[in-house]
Structure formats: C-alpha cells, structure tokens
Amino acid sequence: MQDQRRFARFTLEPGYTRVVIDSVDGRVVDPIEGHAYDLGEGGIRLEADEVPPAGARVGILLELPGEGWPIAVSGRVIRAVDDGDELGAKRVAIAFHAFRSPFDRARLVRWLGRAGREAA
C-alpha cells in the first residue's frame, strides 16, 4: 500500500500531547479527551477511551508541549480502531481539513519544525 501523506509525520512521546475532540459532525459533544502519538501538518493519530466513527467530521483542540494555548483544527476521521477491549484506549487517525485561523496553522508548522530539528 502506498503512503498517501503529503507532509512528514513525527512520533510523539506518549502522554504529553493532549487532544480534545469537542465536536462531531457539527454538533458540540462532551469533550473526548485523548493523547496524540503521531502528528504532522496534515493529520494526527491519537488514543482515547471513546472515538468517533470513521468518516465523522470533528473539531479538535491540540495542546502541544511548550505552546501557551490549544491549536484549533477541524478534520475527518480516516480510521477508528476499536479492538473490543472496553477498558482500553481506542486509536483514531484524523486528516486535518481546516485550521480555525492561519495563526493556528503557523503555530503547528513552527512547532513541527522545532520537533524535527530536535529529532535530528
């Protein structure tokens, strides 16, 4: 299977990048909290106790280490993996669609640039 990503992805240290899904298919929902473990300019993979189904449109608040406030972005769930373990975290992959503001996108790009330099 060919990798269709346009942007580099970075593996994140588990538990340090909090993610909150605050809307699903245009409806405000009780916050779904999780942690990112893979992030790029075009999308994110995260783990959470509950995840929206594949195809759902979601609103995300992304709390990056060292940033003062969350980055707001919307996207679509590409994959949702539930291994049937009710107690365990579920995994979800989300492709970003739009940032709430150009400033949010610029902050993510800057943060990823720093993360890439630190990993090298």
Give the C-alpha separation, 49 to 44, whole Å. 16
Over pLDDT 70: what percentage of the chain?
Answer: 82
Check which CATH number belongs to the domain holding 28 and give it: 2.40.10.220
Q: How many domains does the chain have?
A: 1
- Mean pLDDT lowest for which of 1-5, 9-13, 86-90, 91-95? 1-5
Does residue 5 form part of some domain?
Answer: no
Per-residue pLDDT at 12: 79
Does residue 2 form part of some domain?
Answer: no
- 58 is in which domain, residue-wise? 11-119
Give the C-alpha separation, 72 to 60, whole Å. 6
> What are the pLDDT digits (tens) for 19-60?
999 999 999 899 999 999 899 999 999 999 888 999 999 999
Which has the closest alpha carbon to 56: 74, 30, 83, 31? Answer: 74
